[in-house]
Structure 1
């Protein structure tokens, strides 16, 4: 029970000395969540109150079931845009249908995350490589920023998440920009940046919200065309089972899967970084999937759209001194109190202020330094980042993340299909054998070919291995007497490669060339014996270290009993 519901693990050990820090952190995060949640709901195309709903129940569920003590769960910019992009493609005609679909998407996403957690599939997030994440995040940040320009400038045009269409609409309506709205937005951005830089202890988001409300209320700016939030429904979200009628499940499935992966990736990366700074708990990747899945599922029953761990909120929670999930429960209580009693205070909140908050937040998501670094040092990963960025920006968010994952896998397959092969030789006056292309102090021999293969040997690279070996052998064909394979980097040999290796050894024998294998690790030795490769090779041609094979070939010294025992040790004869 403690494994599946971690609150039973840490709550009985709770120290009263933690309470003050947890309460302060919880109140701080709760205050931050109120304007932030409403702003993110705007990105998702939902009424602002749904951002508060997404900050309430999911946060409570995660505090009970999550393994990270500081992760703050709620609405985030990226997931909000994913919701907007998926639902925009459905051409929904009414706001009620749009809301119902967003809530159902939370349930769908939660179910996928829950199943992934129970099936121990937390490793899948590893396929989201850093270049893919960077390219995807930067493109999403630009899309989010562009989507908020209509609120920032006071323009009115149909909702769209295509970048080309957004730019076209902005250009076509540029003459209709509302000057007062634009000025308020720019001023709000300036205040946020100033506070963050010079007075970071002041909550900048709350400050601009307060100033915006006061300005509209006392100056009557809403009568001059400044759009405001208006009425926010008062009270906690009611329990409501999502409707399955007419839900395009097959259409929503790719987006729900993307939300599940991206949401988990965000939460996982944050919680793992915090784990490194805390020695009193460990983050369980699969339990995190279960916790976030349950947060989305239960949250959907209380009108929440998809949520996950937020970078900014979690950082604030950690810096404010949060020790346990009590901080998240306090933050949820602040949001609940606001829904019960304080929503009328946000009636005069201008939408341009919320847009300004979003624009400042997404600006920091655009990473320029990392692509430049990749361009200088790793061109293949740079192109992977750029392709992911372009496809996400111009073709779609789902397409971008899926293409990025596929290209990452292709890059991995390409690298393992043509791995590094080094020709080794002895460093003078030593027993070290190093790559002749890197060390100029080596002495090569015409009668020996010593090679290190730096990858597992499997069906995808067996032909490459054989081709390269034939090329290297051809150079010394007239004088070559032995081939030594340094297998320290070969972590596995599959059945296809085993067949190739046995045929290759027989080919060498037919040419009166001895083959030796040195440094084979345990799993590789198991395969050598299990697939009968050793019978063709000969046990006498297995060595622990390269210099021992060379010395034996030269007749200087042969293996002793200990060397024989080590190089022939397998799982079956332990």
Structure 2
């Protein structure tokens, strides 16, 4: 019993049963491959967040170890990601504008606060909160954020000064500085972009033609960003990029991050609370979506509540080790999965690889052009752009289309934080709208059967004296008025009606407000000489009805089946 309790809080304990040399080798291989991918990503996303490049390495060490201990996904790779890095940059720029707090301290505080929020939500078992964010809305936000990130990185690609938090600001700033383009930076950056797209499209096929297996070829093709880094570092050193005014990453201090507690004052806490909450929610949704997708392929289970705790602890680890907010990354998690990672130890081994890089490889990164990192980011984020969601939602549900369009527009025109707020608000409004508009169908008997279907969709038998409605959804305070209005409208069109039957086969819940309205409807029908009946009431709903005196006051009967009610009353 005690062992089960420990393994619930520390899922890594579950992996040691049956762990052997073969599994160890697979985890080590996956870690080596992900380390190669994660080093340039970490550097790039730190710069995207407005932080020194080494902070990206720091944010990829302790968070990976902590997630490996607490996480339930065996393949999720945690670290800096594009959207969270952009959100962090926006929040930190606002908080540090006055100069009262330095940028790095604010970044570590933001990570710690985001982690604390996630950990508390996990302890309260509130993993289901992610379900209240509409997936089309999230897709729209990610698409818009990816475009903002790509626009923000064009300045490094072009080698020009530019700034802005919104699409209009970035475009205007870039346009105004086009006369200062550094041609060498542009050629280098475009070369990396073309190489990465070529590697993605043709790299695996070329490697297979050279005799490699499809899986090995696919993995090596995903290491293209690292190849681009090495190649442009060589060019930078050999051709003297620094003397030609091409921006380089420059000096990166060697060593591991120093563990310390971020200083959080009350004003800083108040300023960071809302951004931390937004980063926590979006980071968790992105992370758990990736984890569940990969786990489904292996028929493994992800505990959403434990993932909240794990991601929370990982972010707190980033805060304690001089990092910034992190989340589960899609690309490196897919690589981790494809490379054959078997357990969470692969994440811990990856952290060791990053730590070794921070200790011994940073002097070689001096000559890395920022245009290379910008190209890496642009290619990575443009794969997140999905305008097809607009066409899909337009044909499927206009409400979803409007929600996605609004989220994209607000994010591009007003910035990331308003975009997040809009996305959350629109998701909640969609939920409320749909909860207040249950599907209500008038039904009739399909002749030759005992089944009842919508009179507008099927050829059915009806009786003028009987009006039957099927409610598909809960009967609660937010939607009972819709049912009441529908009953009275249809009664006005059918003066011969003597019986109204509510077919409750799809009703799973009823609250007190709905019950009171049903009592009111029953009284109003009795005054018109009409009886109200119920049919096919589910057990939990019947239990609620029995706790009141509704059934005793009901003018009609409760029938076990709709067919029984139709036969007796007709």
Same fold (TM over 0.5): yes
Paired residue for 1:557?
Answer: none
Paired residue for 2:472?
Answer: 454
1:449-481 Cα distance to aligned partner (Å, 9 max, x none): 11112221222222221121011122222x222
1:188-220 Cα distance to aligned partner (Å, 9 max, x none): 100111111111333110110011001111111
Inter-partner Cα distance in structure 1 for 2:305 and 2:433: 29
From 363, 375, 380, the equivalent of 1:356 is 375
Inter-partner Cα distance in structure 2 for 1:221 and 1:25: 34
Paired residue for 1:571?
Answer: none
Note the C-alpha offset of 1:168: 1.8
From 223, 229, 237, the equivalent of 1:209 is 229
Change (3 A) 1:487 1:93: closer
1:185 maps onto 2:202 in alignment: no
1:37 maps onto 2:42 in alignment: yes
On the 8 A contact 1:506/1:536 being kept in 2, the answer is: no
1:466 maps onto 2:470 in alignment: no
Note the C-alpha offset of 1:247: 5.1
Runs of 5+ consecutive residues of structure 2 not aligned to the other structure: 1-5, 205-219
Note the C-alpha offset of 1:96: 8.3
On the 8 A contact 1:101/1:247 being kept in 2, the answer is: no
Between stretches 302-311 and 525-534, larger displacement belongs to: 525-534
On the 8 A contact 1:459/1:497 being kept in 2, the answer is: yes
Between stretches 197-206 and 244-253, larger displacement belongs to: 244-253
Paired residue for 1:566?
Answer: none
From 138, 156, 159, the equivalent of 2:143 is 138
Paired residue for 2:213?
Answer: none
From 258, 261, 275, the equivalent of 1:255 is 275
Question: How many residue pairs get matched?
Answer: 549
Q: Secondary structure at 1:451's aligned position in 2?
A: strand
Superposition RMSD in Å: 1.7
Inter-partner Cα distance in structure 1 for 2:276 and 2:395: 36
1:545 maps onto 2:561 in alignment: yes
Matches within 5 A, 1:120-135: 120-135=125-140
Paired residue for 2:509?
Answer: 492
From 289, 298, 310, the equivalent of 2:329 is 310
From 67, 78, 86, the equivalent of 1:73 is 78
Inter-partner Cα distance in structure 2 for 1:400 and 1:528: 44
Paired residue for 2:359?
Answer: 340
Change (3 A) 1:128 1:250: same
Paired residue for 2:215?
Answer: none
Q: Secondary structure at 1:425's aligned position in 2?
A: strand
Inter-partner Cα distance in structure 2 for 1:515 and 1:245: 62
From 463, 488, 494, the equivalent of 1:476 is 494
Q: Secondary structure at 1:160's aligned position in 2?
A: coil
Inter-partner Cα distance in structure 1 for 2:52 and 2:382: 24
Q: Secondary structure at 1:443's aligned position in 2?
A: coil
Runs of 5+ consecutive residues of structure 1 not aligned to the other structure: 555-574
Change (3 A) 1:112 1:194: same
On the 8 A contact 1:422/1:451 being kept in 2, the answer is: yes
On the 8 A contact 2:105/2:262 being kept in 1, the answer is: yes
Matches within 5 A, 1:63-142: 63-92=68-97, 97-142=102-147
1:231 maps onto 2:255 in alignment: no
From 339, 358, 366, the equivalent of 1:320 is 339
On the 8 A contact 1:92/1:98 being kept in 2, the answer is: no
From 18, 22, 38, the equivalent of 1:17 is 22
Note the C-alpha offset of 1:284: 0.9
1:78-105 Cα distance to aligned partner (Å, 9 max, x none): 1110110011123547798111111111
Q: Secondary structure at 1:142's aligned position in 2?
A: helix
1:381 maps onto 2:400 in alignment: yes
From 520, 541, 548, the equivalent of 1:531 is 548
On the 8 A contact 1:88/1:161 being kept in 2, the answer is: no
Q: Secondary structure at 1:237's aligned position in 2?
A: coil
Inter-partner Cα distance in structure 2 for 1:246 and 1:49: 28
